Amino acid sequence: NAGVTQTPKFQVLKTGQSMTLQCAQDMNHEYMSWYRQDPGMGLRLIHYSVGAGITDQGEVPNGYNVSRSTTEDFPLRLLSAAPSQTSVYFCASSYTNRGRNEQFFGPGTRLTVL
Amino acid sequence: AQSVTQLGSHVSVSEGALVLLRCNYSSSVPPYLFWYVQYPNQGLQLLLKYTTGATLVKGINGFEAEFKKSETSFHLTKPSAHMSDAAEYFCAVSDREAGTALIFGKGTTLSVSS
């Protein structure tokens, strides 16, 4: 199993550009989520999905869109990039939404918005 | 609402010394508690978790943590630090009843000197 994969690893955008961060998992996990990591802030939840066709907002959803058309994929879209979205983005998945289940994290995407 | 506080953003120890990383949580319901480790430029890896049962939890790489309900704490310890333990450590909590996403602390960077 490849686990949780994320592409690209690095990305530089100009303010106002749009892009999609890709996330895929091959563990047949129901639950997937996106976090952003900023220095001194820990990880903050952006959006999450409890299954195909179901998504919901996390702590910091503004400026981001998600969709979940398949179990495997959970892309994160930046509609109009802003410098405040410069961050490291992590995708994670777990077997179910039950809190006891370990979340598996991807290697991250480092995004810089100029 | 749940929250996690990690005391000390940076902890420095000598090789062979005791490692103690502090985590206190706030939760209105019995929580699930996790410690994750992040090595430089990598994603997060689960060290250990407390879900139910024994309050002393053993994890990978010689780490352990004790759930103390009366103190609302889940401190991470290792008897003897190794150079390879240098990393950032995150404590996280999830709601066992609602099955919500992980809420992370802001992280503690562990430095190990020879």
pLDDT digits (tens, 9 = 90+) for B40-73: 888 899 999 998 888 899 999 999 999 999 999 9
User: Rounded to an integer, what is the distance from CA A114 to the centroid of its chain?
Assistant: 21
Is the pLDDT confidence value at B96 over 70? no
| A45 inside 8 A of chain B by CB | yes
From the candidates A43, A48, A59, A98, which should be mutated to test the interface with B, based on the most B CB atoms within 10 A? A43
Distance from the Cα of A63 to chain B's closest Cα (Å) equals 20
3-state DSSP of A3-57 = CEEEECCEEEECCCCCEEEEEEECCCCCEEEEEEEECCCEEEEEEEEEECCEEEE
Q: What is the mean pLDDT of residues A77-93?
A: 96
Is the pLDDT confidence value at A94 over 90? no
Residue A59 is predicted with a pLDDT of 87
Are residues A108 and B104, on separate chains, in Cβ contact within 8 Å?
no
Max mean pLDDT range (A31-40, A83-92, A96-105):
A83-92
pLDDT digits (tens, 9 = 90+) for B7-46: 999 999 999 999 999 999 998 777 889 999 999 888 899 9
B13, B114 contact by CB (below 8 A): no
Are residues B46 and A33, on separate chains, in Cβ contact within 8 Å?
no
Chain B residues in contact with A105 by the CB 8 A cut-off are 36, 43-45
Of A42, A45, A90, the CB nearest to B105: A42
